[in-house]
Amino acid sequence: MSTTQEGAKNQTMNQHLRSEPIPFIDVGAQRRRLGASLDAAVKRVLDHCQFVNGPEVFELEKQLAAYSGAKHVIGCASGTDAILMVMMAKNIGPGDAVFCPSFTFIATASPVARTGATPVYVDVDEATFNMSPESLKSGIATARKAGLKPAAVIPVDLFGQPADHDAIAEIARAEGLFVLDDAAQGFGASYKGRKLGTFGHATATSFFPAKPLGCFGDGGAIFTDDDELAATLRSIRVHGQGVDKYDNVRLGLTGRLDTMQAAVLIEKLKIFDDEVAARNKVAERYARGLSNVVTVPRLSPGNTSVWAQYTIRLPEGTDRDGFAAALKAQGVPTAIYYGKSMHQQTAYKHYPVAEGGLPACESLSQDVISLPMHAYLTEADQERVIAAVRGALAG
């Protein structure tokens, strides 16, 4: 083979390697890392056959309580059920207003609507993507004018960063609101030196596989220091069961965390802090490489993030679809969280919006896009993402 032919062959091979897609979230790499320990954990469940409320569920709850600092942890079937169960435990229902940021996943508001209560949408801070305390105040005024009783607020720790919990708690105290922290994307993050799980009256999280701490199916948990609330939640997750399993003392549901998923999570929790540290290194590299061409995420002072997503804002006027296509051609996947805020979605747009509207939510829905983010992104792949973003914007 001639030198020219050899060079052409190498160039073709290099192009092929460069175009190999980067995983947006690499669950497989984590599975390979844990390997035998996961296999052994699953085998233990298969051997003892306690598939519902087995010992791993209670061991996981114990470990999550120690990790977060919460007094009680109640495992459940999903992050959505976690929110629904708390709403049920607090008797939230028709005539009640529950305040939710509109720029988040629908699972924050859908359990509220299912109870018959009214989600009231509030705006977010454009820099942090999290609930705006000022818009919350406006939302409370809106609810009262509509004849609704302000009952609860659900701040969301979006994309992995804690919400402004002190400011929200102050408003909640003044207004008599129950506070449920939606940490579906933020579990493991810290607010002013404290892990999420102890802010508000209760915290809900999700263990969906794509989450920083995810299982191999659906799963969730509720954290609280309230003894009475914890007991009620444990009843609700098993059909509202009382002391006697055939004496159901309240309305409930089948909201249990599967034993197999608990076993998986116990193993994943062992490497969780290491993975969070790796995610933060990726975020730091992205910020260094991209901050002069896009708006990168900003952490509030005193906060840490688990970087459930790394979401940037594109320059005004950028063709977002064209940008995503350009990155895809380079083997760099993207995702849009969220192309429509909740108040813009068909089944939810009839619910009230805080006075003054939701301009930040609507603006973010137009120009955000998320880049690959996980603990197993190599430095070479991180640089490849950075180069693809810069190239697409330069073109």
Residues marked as catalytic: 211
Pairing type for strands 368-371 and 310-313 reads antiparallel
* 202 token code pair: 């209760």
Residue 319 DSSP symbol:
-
**27: nearest Cα among 374, 395, 393, 379:** 374
User: Residue 360's Cα: distance from chain center in Å?
Assistant: 19
The shares of helix, strand and coil residues in the chain, as percent rounded to the nearest 5, are 45, 15, 40
- CB count within 10 Å of CB 241 equals 17
Closest listed residue to residue 253, CA positions, set 87, 58, 51 = 87
User: For the chain, what's the residue count?
Assistant: 395
Q: Is 77:66 a contact under the CB 8 Å cutoff? A: no
Torsion region of 111: left, alpha or beta (phi above 0 gives left; psi -120 to 50 gives alpha)? alpha
Given a contact cutoff of 8 angstroms between Cβ atoms, the answer to whether 34 and 268 are in contact is yes
Cβ pair 292, 386 in contact under 8 A: no
Q: Are the CB atoms for 257 and 76 separated by under 8 Å?
A: yes
Q: What is d(CA 193, CA 190) in angstroms, rounded to the nearest whole number?
A: 6
Burial of residue 258 (CB within 10 Å: 0-12, 13-18, 19+) is: buried
* Token pair 């068909």 in the structure block, residue: 346
> SS3 of 79, please?
helix
